[in-house]
Amino acid sequence: MFRVIAVTIGVLLSVAVVQASAATKSVRHPTITMKAGNRAGLQNVFAWDAKCRTVRVRVAAHKPKKGKVYLVKSKFAVPASLSQKCAGRKVRGYKVVFKADKNAKGTTLVTYQVSSGNVKNTTFKFRRTLKIK
């Protein structure tokens, strides 16, 4: 069994995926309020296999209005609540970050998809609304 993990501010989403079935999971998160020109961490994305090794994840973001989405490579500890066997092991992944334009004001929608090379035919679609002041 493989796990694709998406950690969001205050929310932990863990989905065990069956490889044989095609699936698309959609997730809508609470709104983030931020200042123009600042960055907001949207989510940490990482995955591991049955031997606690990093599994490559792909993140594809649609170009949002009023800012830019980018990825920051990082390492994450596997939470014990998701895997006793792999708890504390470090795996590679990405921080998904949004940077608001300097003069942006109002609301913008950020959408992106996450998939893993070892979990075929499954994509997780995320939607995040940001209020920029």
Q: In angstroms, rounded to a whole number, what is the distance separating the alpha carbons of residues 76 and 20? A: 27
Q: According to the CATH classification, is domain 2-132 in 3.30.2350?
A: no
SS3 category, 36: coil
- Amino acid code (one letter) for 27: V
Asked if 35 contacts 48 with a C-beta cutoff of 8 angstroms, the reply is no
Q: In angstroms, rounded to a whole number, what is the distance separating the alpha carbons of residues 11 and 32? A: 13
pLDDT for 52-96, tens place per residue?
999 999 999 999 999 999 999 999 999 999 899 999 999 999 999
The model's pTM: 0.78
The domains of the chain are located at 2-132
Q: Is pLDDT of 3 > 90? A: no
Burial class (CB within 10 angstroms; exposed 0-12, middle 13-18, buried 19+) of 63: exposed
Mean pLDDT of 45-53: 92
